[in-house]
Amino acid sequence: MKQLVILSGKGGTGKTSVTAAFAHLASLGPFADRVVLADADVDAANLELVLKPRILEQQEFRGGQVAEIDQDRCAVCGACESVCRFDAILERDGYYVVDPIACDGCAACVYQCPTGGIAMHEQVVGNFFVSDCRYGPLYHADLFPGQENSGKLVALVKQHARQRALDEHRLLLLVDGPPGIGCPVISAVSGADLALIVTEPTVAGIHDLIRTLETVRHFGVRALVCINKADLYPAGVEAIAAQCRASGIATVGTIPFDLTVADAMVAGEAVTAFRPAAPAAVAIAAVWERMSAALMNFETPINQDV
């Protein structure tokens, strides 16, 4: 079983549209019924908007703890406020209260309260789902707006998806990653055999691609790059190709700027299923051919000059 994670650094480069198309394409070829899907972008979970999952199982996700002050025991001494480094304890009308959004769950206040009037309470910060969708089992989650611990929730999603893939001897775990390079990305990358970085030839896209390449290198994950919206800025494509050559990273193709991708999103379909002859769909299919070959045989040279 191989684990493929789709990343980008910069948001909005087309990670989820590419992942949905891969899920569709995988259902047609030798990977049919051999794929497990996971959405690791738990605070902006969009893959399900395309895959239309039927939820089979739902679990509450308990994240970190939050402090709570028992007003009957509070001596209003302010010790809690003075030790809190997260500005989470507020004085309000002569009382101390905890701002649950700011609270980091460190419990420093609990140990400093002279009256033992502060306790920690576990919070339900999201939901975790096991679903079936038209292209296979989908593991996904929904972190409540503004909550912490997205990295832990990503880890939970991936852990269950991976176990399913192993139990059923599936060939591929396809993971739609979050943007950025921080905690949920680190969680999404962990254990991956290959990262496909979907970038775009824009100054921002290139800047963030470089940071993403450094991140996957830091965690020792092999990466390939695909350039979306490639015809927007030809000089940017050259810059990406040069950057990839310098980093020893292969490019697996380009996808043209094509508004059919947005139409497919509105229709709730993978672009390759919605309009297989659209320029973006044809290009993604070609990228998938090279990607899947690369995944199953790491020895095959996969360099494609752009």
Interface with other proteins (CB under 8 A), residue total: 68
Furthest-apart CA atoms within the chain: distance in Å: 71
Kindly state the DSSP code that residue 67 receives in the 8-state scheme. Answer: E
Distance CA 143, CA 28 (A): 32
306 binds other proteins (CB under 8 A): no
Q: Which is nearer to other proteins, 136 or 180 (CB)?
A: 180
* SS3 state of residue 164: helix
Q: Which residues contact 273 (CB under 8 A, 6 or more apart)?
A: 21, 24, 264
Q: Which is nearer to other proteins, 136 or 201 (CB)?
A: 201
Strands (E), 85-135: 89-92, 95-98, 118-133
- Sequence length of the chain is 306
Query: Which of 54, 62, 78, 86 touches other proteins (CB under 8 A)?
Result: 86
| Subset of 271-290 contacting other proteins (CB under 8 A) | none
Q: Which residues contact 292 (CB under 8 A, 6 or more apart)?
A: 26, 29, 31
46 binds other proteins (CB under 8 A): yes
214 binds other proteins (CB under 8 A): yes
Please, what is the minimum distance in Å from the beta carbon of residue 70 to other proteins? 19
Closest alpha carbon to 27 in 274, 282, 273, 290: 273
Contact letters for other proteins, residues 156-195 (x by CB under 8 A): ----------------------xxxxxxxxx---------
Count Cα neighbours of 264 within 13 Å in the Cβ-side half-sphere: 27
Query: Which of 29, 32, 33, 49 touches other proteins (CB under 8 A)?
Result: 49
**Where does this chain bind other proteins (CB under 8 A)?**
8-13, 16, 41, 43-46, 49, 64-65, 83, 85-86, 101-102, 104-108, 111-112, 120, 143, 145-148, 150-151, 178-186, 200-205, 207-208, 211, 214-215, 218-219, 229, 232-233, 235-236, 257, 259, 262, 265-266, 268
